[in-house]
Amino acid sequence: MELQDAQQELDQVRRELSYQAQVISGNNLDLQYFKPGSSGLSVGAPPLSNVTPPIPARVTEVELQQKVESLKSALSSACDPPEAVSIQRKLDLAKQQLGFLQRQYALDENSYYSRTDFAQDTAGKARLDAEQQQIQSLQSEIDSLSNELAALSPPQVAT
């Protein structure tokens, strides 16, 4: 019941966010403030900040999406045997760590190759190699956990 309520609330927030604002076109533009040949509308002052705060509805959408996912996970783990739930938790944690490591590797790789003297940076290359080895190790652990989980799951019967 709580899952349905959260899903309905998430759908409502998404409907509100899908509002399409009216676009100013040539027909409804007030020529008093816009001179032909200008590249845009001048407001007479520089922008106060380049960063805009997050829209509260977007924050609510993300929170509801996380709530729905956690409720779905809890619902599925209530129906599974305890061994499968334990393996699934380990698998989820390993996937989360793998995503983090892959993003970190991409940042470190970009940083390493953006330098002009990267060929002389043996410590940087060793760090990249160690991160790559960690990623491969974690990927093999994920594969192993996935195989264990598949072995515990009963075969699906098509109806």
Contacts of 55 (CB under 8 A, 6+ apart): 17
Q: Token digits for 131?
A: 């991160």
Q: What is the pLDDT along the chain (159 residues), one digit of tens a residue?
A: 888 888 888 888 887 777 666 666 656 666 666 666 655 555 666 656 666 666 777 788 888 888 888 888 777 767 777 888 888 889 989 999 999 999 999 999 999 999 888 889 899 999 999 999 999 999 999 999 999 888 887 655 454
The residue extents of the domains of the chain are 1-16+55-79, 80-153
**pLDDT, tens only, 26-43:** 566 666 666 666 555 556
